[in-house]
Amino acid sequence: MAPNIESANPVVTSLLTGTAPRPAQLAAARGALPLPQNDMFEVLAGFAGSEDKELSGEAANTFRQIDQRLLETCVRSEDAPANVLLYVAGHHDGFKYEVYEGLLVNPKTPAAAVENLAKHTSSSELLDLISLNQQLLIQSPSIIEAIIANPNRSLEASRRAAETKREFFEKERGVQQIANELRAQGKEAAAEFIEKAEFDDLTLSAEDALLIADMIEVPDSETDDAWLALEYLEEIYEETEADRQMIVDKIISEFKVEEIDLPSERISIINRIMKMGMKDRTRLAMKGDREARNILIRDPNRMVAQAVCNNPRITEQEIEKIASMRSISEDILRQIANNRKWSRAYPIVHNLARNPRTPIANVMSILTRLQLRDLAALSKNRNVSDAVRRQALRLSQARAGK
């Protein structure tokens, strides 16, 4: 099939259709044939994509050695041949930034060329530039997916692409419509959460939002978040994308210690939850089900973990498990120890006493309530501090009449 030739120059036509003499074709492939600049690049791009290995190799080599300022001038031109634009985009790291910048600002550049570049470039600056062209993203949503899937994207490029996706392609179902659907299913608490959530990272899809909404079991009427100062939470605790990934890795590693075979579904849920900003994670901690609580109690941010403990549906069995966890912060263990309801449950205070992270002041007040056999065991427990072991020994000996 004859190539789509844009130049009106008959020499270009003869070269690209194969009617020109072989020496002329080779000379053109080597950049030695005197041709106008855009004609030369159209011929080179045509040869570089041909099945003739000799011509394609020579043309590719000429592209590598060409003065890139000339190529930049070409790709910025409104008369730039489409095959040149596609060739440059397809060689995503072969030219200098200014060449790609010229390509991206040229309204003639095919969307397919931009998508190809967005998929494969290692330059976060180029992804930023692509993400700024909202009109193009709306016209070609596949470019949005290419940006989001590229691991080299910056946080800003990711945010802009996801924001455009949500604004123009996911709002057909919109927040209110999703909330209405949840209410129709009798999920009032989930509907309330969806309506108030901000999904700050803007990479959370509608499917992610629905999955998380299904984890909500506590309605607003049962919660009191006045202590949280949610409107200031994001300002007080700033998080980067890297911070959130570290939290994901931490939580997954903790689960792997407890569960030798960690299901992929659990990992997927953790990743989806961590796409949310801290404010929404805190809301989920206070309103979520057992699975949400089990994940978010491991969040290294004290406010999120504290919100888990303030969830009105949390059970004594869950608190008993939390009291034994070595990864929990001292603040959370102190909160449990100072809670009147939980401190009346012997398994909870026993776990607190054995947890080396429980503040010593709380442990000392707990020791007097432990049974003799547990005091004796604690006095020999090398995981707790010397002070706790000594006090446990004194109390056990006193009880035994020694």
Mean pLDDT of 126-149: 91
Determine what percent of the chain is predicted with pLDDT higher than 70. 91
Query: DSSP state, 297?
Result: T
Mean pLDDT of 132-137: 90
Predicted local distance difference test score (pLDDT) of residue 268: 86
Q: Which residues contact 123 (CB under 8 A, 6 or more apart)?
A: 93, 97, 100, 152
Predicted local distance difference test score (pLDDT) of residue 1: 36
Residue 351 near residue 375 (C-beta atoms within 8 A) = no
pLDDT > 70? residue 97: yes
Predicted local distance difference test score (pLDDT) of residue 168: 73
DSSP reduced 3-state for 15: helix
When comparing pLDDT for 289 and 94, which is higher? 289
CB atoms near residue 122 (< 10 Å): 11
Mean pLDDT of 289-299: 94
Predicted local distance difference test score (pLDDT) of residue 162: 87
When comparing pLDDT for 264 and 230, which is higher? 264
Kindly provide the residue ranges of all beta strands, DSSP E only, lying in 108-207, ordered along the sequence: none
Predicted local distance difference test score (pLDDT) of residue 201: 43
Q: Can you tell me the distance from the alpha carbon of 189 to that of 333, in angstroms, rounded to the nearest whole number?
A: 28
First to last CA, the chain: 102
Cα dist from 230 to 176, 225, 257, 281, 285, whole Å:
22, 8, 33, 11, 13
Residue carrying the six token digits 């608190």: 319
pLDDT > 90? residue 312: yes
Q: Which of 98, 102, 101, 166 is nearest to 138 (CA)?
A: 166
CB atoms near residue 169 (< 10 Å): 14
Residue 227 near residue 286 (C-beta atoms within 8 A) = no
Mean pLDDT of 42-46: 93
Q: Can you tell me the distance from the alpha carbon of 398 to that of 392, in angstroms, rounded to the nearest whole number?
A: 10
Read out DSSP for 52-100?
-HHHHHHHHHHHHHS-HHHHHHHHHSTT--HHHHHHHHHSTTSS-HHHH
Predicted local distance difference test score (pLDDT) of residue 2: 46
Q: Which residues contact 249 (CB under 8 A, 6 or more apart)?
A: none
Predicted local distance difference test score (pLDDT) of residue 173: 52
For 241-259, write each residue's pLDDT tens digit.
788 888 888 898 888 887 7
